[in-house]
Structure formats: structure tokens, C-alpha cells
Amino acid sequence: MRFLTSGRRHKAARPLLLLLSLFLVGAVYAAVSPATNSSAEGVADAQLVAAGKNLFAVNCASCHGLNAEGLVQQGAPNLTNVGAAAVDFQVRTRRMPMANPLTQAVPGSKTIFTDDEIKALAAYVASLGNGPAIPDQNQYDPSSVSAEGAARGGDLFRTNCSACHNFKGAGGALPNGLVAPSIEKTPPQQVWEALRTGPGQMPVFAAGAIPDQDVQKVIAYIKQVNAAPSAGLSLGGLGPVAEGFWAWVAGIGSLVLFAIWIATRGARA
């Protein structure tokens, strides 16, 4: 045991000892504490729901109540039956938690939660009642939609969505200072979730009227119409004349500058 005692006054001995003890404590804790990756799904679900409940109590309960019953008079809805899809959509897009009551989120904001936290919150709210679950990829993935399907999706989009979101999804204004956001770059999963849960002023478009295949067609249309090159400045698909108008402004503008330059040169210039 000489090699242990001989080095005990060495400079590095104390930091090394500290590291070693930390490692030992960690290893013992990992061995003794309950496993997080339990193979039994029910146990994992229960843990997810419990974790979600804690997150909910900290981040959501001040408006929606400790049991998600809501403060309906103040504008915070009851969340019993909104489902996991609504939570995933609202939290992932930073619509929730709200900065101020009844203030619309700034488009493009980043969520304040990790994927796991969102999953836990969604699992907790989903455990309270019935509502649309987070969709599988085969429910919204538009990759199998044909060109004809995308055209049909365009019909559906212009009939159901364009009143607020513009005919290529550029978004638009709503009463009382609200905004229908641009959905040109919205991920397909969020489009599906928004249709099924009706966030904010947006109506619900449930499967009874727009089945999943039709949602895929609509998403295919949004992708297709936004992949097409615009004629110039994109003005929400107003068309090539209006979009190319910047060239007219720039062209006539430079001619005006030329004319001014010519005319300001007097006789003695």
C-alpha cells in the first residue's frame, strides 16, 4: 500500500480524490435509484405524466389552474379535453406560456422547453381527458401526395384557409390587432395539429370534414406553391405583375435621377 500513502501529499491528490468520490457517489446513485428507461411502458408513461404535472404546476397553473380547469372568465380555457396535439402545438410554437394574458405570441419565437419537457406536458394534459393525440408521421406526411392531389389540396386550401392565411399561406390581418400567421414554412406536423385543435381564433377543422388524406393534400399544396419561384419581391403571391413592380420602381426611379442630373447642369456646369 506504499503507492497510496507515498503520494498523499502530492499537489494533485486532493482534486483527484474529489473526482473519485464524486464518480463513486454518482455510480452508486445510478445503481440504486429507480431506472428512468424502464422497459415497462406503463411505468414510463406514469413517470412522464408525473413530470408533466410538475411542469404544468410551475408553468401553466397560474392561469389554467392546478387541475387544468381553466379560468374561463379571464380567457384561460379549460384544458381537460384539448389533447396532446394542442399542447405540442401551443408550447412548441411558443404560443404558451403567454407573456401577457390575451397577447398573441410573436411569430417565429423559440420555445422555452426541451422536447422531453413538451412530451411530458402533453402526456399530462392528454391524461386528463379526450383530445387529439400528437399525430404519427403517416397522418400528415405529404410525400406520397400526387400532383393531382396537390391541386385538389389547393382547392381545399383556397376554400377553407385562404380567408385568413392568404391563398399561398402568407398570412394576414385579423380584427382587433390579431394576425393570422404565415404558414409558408410551418412544419407539416404543426399544420395538422393546428387544423385539429383550432388554436386561438382559428376554427377547428376536424377529420369529419377534412380527413387526414385531405390534410396531406393541403400540406402538399402549401409546399408546392411556395417552392415555385416568384417573379421578384414576394408579396404573398399577388402575381408576377405586382411582384415584378419593384423593377419598374427601380427603373423609373433611376431615370428620374438621370433627368435631375441632366437638368441641374446649367449653362456653366
Partner 1 sequence: MSEQKNLPVPDPGLEEHEHRYTDVNEAAADRAYKQIVGMLAAVPVLVLAFLFVYFGVPKDAELVLFGANLQMQTTLLGLTGGLATLMIGVAAIAWARSLMSDEEIVGERHGAASPPEARERVLADLETGIEASGIRRRKLLGTGMAGALGLIAVPALVSLADLGPWPTPALRAETIERTIWAEGVRLVNDVSYLPLKASDLEVGQLVNAVPETLEKIEDGPAFQEAKAKAAIIVVRMDPNSIKIPDSRKDWQINGILSYSKICTHVGCPISLWEQLTHHLLCPCHQSTFDLANSGVVVFGPAARSLPQLPITTDSEGYLVARSDFTVPVGPSYFERDSSKDFKEGDR
Cα 70 from chain centre: 23
Part of the chain binding partner 1 (CB under 8 A), chosen from 12-20, 27-35, 38-46, 208-216: 208-216
SS3 at position 179: strand
Residue 129 interacting with partner 1 (CB under 8 A): no
Cell numbers 385538389: residue: 152
Of 179, 235, 7, 191, the residue nearest 89 (C-alpha): 191
Among 105, 179, 210, 238, binds partner 1 (CB under 8 A): 210
Cβ atoms of residues 156 and 210 within 8 Å:
yes
- Total of chain residues touching partner 1, rule CB under 8 A: 39
Q: How far is the CB of 215 from partner 1 (least distance, A)?
A: 12
Part of the chain binding partner 1 (CB under 8 A), chosen from 38-46, 110-118, 133-141, 198-206: 198-206
d(CA 252, CA 259): 10
Which 64-123 positions form the footprint of partner 1 (CB under 8 A)? none
Which 224-263 positions form the footprint of partner 1 (CB under 8 A)? 229-234, 246-247, 251, 255, 258, 262
Among 3, 15, 208, 260, binds partner 1 (CB under 8 A): 208
Looking at the Cβ atoms of 143 and 201, the one nearer to partner 1 is 201
Which 2-41 positions form the footprint of partner 1 (CB under 8 A)? none
| Bridging pattern class, strands 172-173 and 179-180 | antiparallel
Looking at the Cβ atoms of 160 and 190, the one nearer to partner 1 is 160
Which 137-196 positions form the footprint of partner 1 (CB under 8 A)? 152, 155-156, 159-160, 163-164, 174-175
Cβ contacts of 117 within 8 Å, gap of 6 or more: 51, 55
Which 48-67 positions form the footprint of partner 1 (CB under 8 A)? none
Q: How far is the CB of 232 from partner 1 (least distance, A)?
A: 5
CB count in 10 Å sphere of residue 165: 22
d(CA 62, CA 71): 9
Cβ contacts of 180 within 8 Å, gap of 6 or more: 164, 165, 171, 172, 173, 174, 202
What are 201's three cell numbers? Answer: 381564433
Looking at the Cβ atoms of 26 and 75, the one nearer to partner 1 is 75
Q: Which residues bind partner 1 (CB under 8 A)?
A: 152, 155-156, 159-160, 163-164, 174-175, 198, 200-211, 214, 229-234, 246-247, 251, 255, 258, 262, 265, 267-269
